[in-house]
Structures are given as C-alpha cells and as structure tokens.
C-alpha cells in the first residue's frame, strides 16, 4: 500500500485493512480508516478517528468490546458494542452484549442478546412540562392500558 501524505493528523484516512478468514488476532486492536474483518479478534477493537469504519463479514468474529463510530456488522460479536455515529446490523449479525448506538439500521434476522441503548444528545431527556389546561400527558403505555 502506498503512503499518502495527509494535510494534517485529523485528515480522513481512506486506507483499508483486511483481516482474512482463518486469521486469529489475540489482543486489542486500534485502527484508523477502514477495517474489514473476515477472521477473528480476541480482544477489544477501538477506532482512533471519527471517520473510521468497521465491517465484520458473515465469517468475522469479535470476542471483546467494540468502540467505533461507524460499523457494518454481519458476523458475530461476543461483547459490548458502542457505535456513536451509525450502526448497521445485517441479516446474519449476532451480538451477545449491550449495543449502544446513535443511528441504527437493522435487517430482519439480525440478533441482539443484550440491551439496546440509544446514545442521543448530551442533554438527557426531560419530562414534558404540564399543559396550560391542566391535563397531563399520559405515557403511551398508560393510554393503551386504559383503553
């Protein structure tokens, strides 16, 4: 692969690393650019930049925590997954752990065995202010239970 001179340290990286099928890496992996996983990583995967993309193919497996901004998962992850920009779970994705996401696309057949936690804006949601007419807003579950 040719080295390209970048304007600065924070410039986007368009380089792709491939971990081939049959390869097992034991230990934590930190990456920039794009990482395509067909093999197995036994350890944490951490993206070092905000534009990094992890792709786990249907043959790929991670045993450990994953912290990436963008992810496309079609393989297996045994550990927690944090995707703070965009997460795509394809039909063969199987995650055993908690999933923290900002934007999620999930295909039919994808499995998550753990909690799904939306990581929204930094400001926590607050209860709605009372309406001027004195009527309280009922939660959706309470409204359907009384019907």
- Given a cut of 90, is residue 145 above it in pLDDT? no
Q: List the one residue out of 59, 62, 61, 47 whose CA is nearest residue 17.
A: 47
56 and 38 in contact (C-beta within 8 Å)?
A: no
100 and 114 in contact (C-beta within 8 Å)?
A: no
pTM for the model stands at 0.74
Q: What is the pLDDT of residue 26?
A: 98
Encoded tokens for 61: 């497996």
Residue with tokens 């998962």, as numbered in its chain: 73
Q: What's the farthest any 2 CA atoms get from each other in the chain? A: 68
What is the distance between the alpha carbons of residues 94 and 9, in angstroms, rounded to a whole number? 35
pLDDT digits (tens, 9 = 90+) for 61-105: 999 999 999 999 999 999 999 999 999 999 999 999 999 999 999
Q: What is the pLDDT of residue 88?
A: 98
Q: Where are the beta strands (DSSP E) in the chain?
A: 16-19, 24-26, 29-31, 34-37, 40-42, 45-47, 53-56, 61-63, 66-73, 76-78, 81-89, 94-96, 99-101, 104-106, 111-113, 116-118
């Amino acid at each position: 692969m040719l080295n390209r001179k970048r304007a600065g340290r924070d410039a986007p990286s368009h380089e792709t690393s491939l971990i081939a099928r049959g390869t097992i890496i034991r230990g934590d992996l930190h990456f920039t650019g794009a990482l395509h996983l067909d093999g197995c990583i036994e350890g944490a995967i951490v993206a070092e930049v905000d534009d990094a993309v992890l792709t786990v193919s249907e043959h790929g497996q991670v045993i450990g925590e994953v912290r990436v901004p963008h992810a496309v998962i079609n393989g297996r992850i045994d550990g927690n997954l944090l995707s703070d920009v965009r997460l795509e779970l394809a039909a063969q994705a199987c995650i055993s752990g908690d999933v923290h996401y900002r934007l999620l696309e999930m295909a039919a057949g994808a499995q998550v065995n753990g909690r799904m936690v939306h990581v929204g804006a930094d400001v926590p949601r607050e209860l709605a202010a009372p309406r001027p007419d004195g009527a309280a807003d009922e939660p959706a579950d309470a409204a359907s239970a009384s019907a």
